[in-house]
Amino acid sequence: MSIKYTPDHEWLKVEGAIATVGITHHAQDALGDVVFVDLPEVGATLEAKAIAGVVESVKAAADVYMPVSGEITEVNEALRADPALANTDPMNAGWFFKVKLSNVSELDSMMDETSYTAFSAS
């Protein structure tokens, strides 16, 4: 398993051909208290950079971008029922969706934790 990060503040936990996707601590902190999430449909096939969902907080709404191309295999119904999970446990229970990767090489351009930490601090 490896964890990758995007400039749009999404994280991906990659296990084989499946990636679990969510928003980072930095993103949830910037958004504030998350009150609603709109998740993609299971079975949808999206290209990298497409809008996959929306996260709304008491401060703002933000698009959640598809970090890689692929098919949505699962969404986090617990997050839909309790959007605050994106704040309280963004890297675990607050995940958004799982995607079956259609182009593994797209992961090569993503940041590791050290690079993302430096990126989000600037």
Query: Is 41 within a domain?
Result: yes
Average pLDDT, the chain: 96
State the average pLDDT over residues 31-44.
Answer: 97
User: How many independent structural domains does the chain possess?
Assistant: 1
Query: Is 118 within a domain?
Result: no
Indicate the helix (H) or strand (E) that contains 117. helix 113-121
Cβ atoms of residues 32 and 57 within 8 Å: yes
Query: Is 84 within a domain?
Result: yes
Amino acid making up residue 5: Y
Q: Which two tokens stand for residue 59?
A: 């401060």
Residue 10's domain comprises 2-110
Query: Is 66 within a domain?
Result: yes
67-119 residue pLDDT tens = 999 999 999 999 999 999 999 999 999 999 999 999 999 999 999 999 999 99
Query: Is 48 within a domain?
Result: yes
What CATH number corresponds to the domain at position 60? 2.40.50.100
Query: Is 9 within a domain?
Result: yes
Query: Is 57 within a domain?
Result: yes
Query: Is 28 within a domain?
Result: yes
